[in-house]
Amino acid sequence: MGNSSSAEPAPVTLDMIKGIQLKPIGHSVDGGTVIASSLWAEQPAIVFVVRRPGCVLCREEAKDLCERAAEFKALGVSLTGVVHEELGADVFAKEFFGDGLLYFDEKKAFFESLGSRWLGLKGLMYPSVIKNAQRAKGKGVEGNWEGEGRLLGGLLVVGKGDEGVLFEHREKAFGDHASMDDILAACRKAVGKAPVENSSAPPEETKA
């Protein structure tokens, strides 16, 4: 089935993800598929790796990202997402990720880059997950139980062209969302707007 969520996979690199073939969901492109590198060829990109389209927690994170879409756009950063199954993906794209572009990663290659980490149904009983579900429902987000939800997702911020992966978040438990502050900081760094505390200091190491 793959690695458990406790495994410590290697950092995501551009070579791991740039050649992944993706099928657009809810929009079309010439040729029917795109290569992942095209998502950040012209501008930096957020890539939301969605665990399950019907999941209330994944839908919550999608809505949270879309609520900040204007900020991402103002910075010149595109908002994209990938799913590993098509079940429920159209609804997810239209109702929860309308400000982003969604793609089908049939070979689960983005998930593999994150370590192919799985969490069994016992994860539903984690106190943090119960709290996460209550948070999402408190926002009025609804979900369903359709599809495979054990393969953990995450989120990447990828720099323009060959600049590489500037930020990665690996979901450790259901509803473990990336920090919006960290996402925005990575986006600002990607477009050269990150604050510089000491111009004489050596450049910071890329956060993995």
Quote the CA–CA distance of 7 and 93 in Å, as a whole number.
31
Instruction: Calculate the CA 130 to chain-centre distance.
Output: 22
Predicted local distance difference test score (pLDDT) of residue 9: 74
Active site residue 58: yes
Q: In the chain, what are the domain boundaries?
A: 10-190
Predicted local distance difference test score (pLDDT) of residue 201: 35
Which of 47, 49, 58, 156 is labelled catalytic? 58
Active site residue 66: no
Predicted local distance difference test score (pLDDT) of residue 198: 33
Predicted local distance difference test score (pLDDT) of residue 195: 54
Which of 20, 55, 83, 184 is labelled catalytic? 55
Predicted local distance difference test score (pLDDT) of residue 3: 60
What is the reported pTM? 0.88
Tens of pLDDT along the chain (208 residues)?
556 545 567 899 999 999 999 999 988 777 789 999 999 999 999 999 999 999 999 999 999 999 999 999 999 999 999 999 999 999 999 999 999 999 999 999 999 999 999 999 899 999 999 999 999 999 999 999 999 999 999 999 999 999 999 999 999 999 999 999 999 999 999 999 765 343 333 334 433 3
Which CATH code of 3.40.50.2000, 3.40.50.970, 3.40.30.10, 3.30.70.870 fits the domain covering 10-190?
3.40.30.10
Q: Which residue has the tokens 């010439």?
A: 30
**b (16+ CB within 10 A) / e for 140-171:** ebebeeebebbbbbbbbbbbbeeebbbbbbbb
Nearest to residue 50, comparing CAs of 144, 155, 123, 137?
A: 155
Residue 128 has a CB neighbour count (10 Å cut-off) of: 13
Q: What is the largest CA-CA distance in the chain?
A: 53
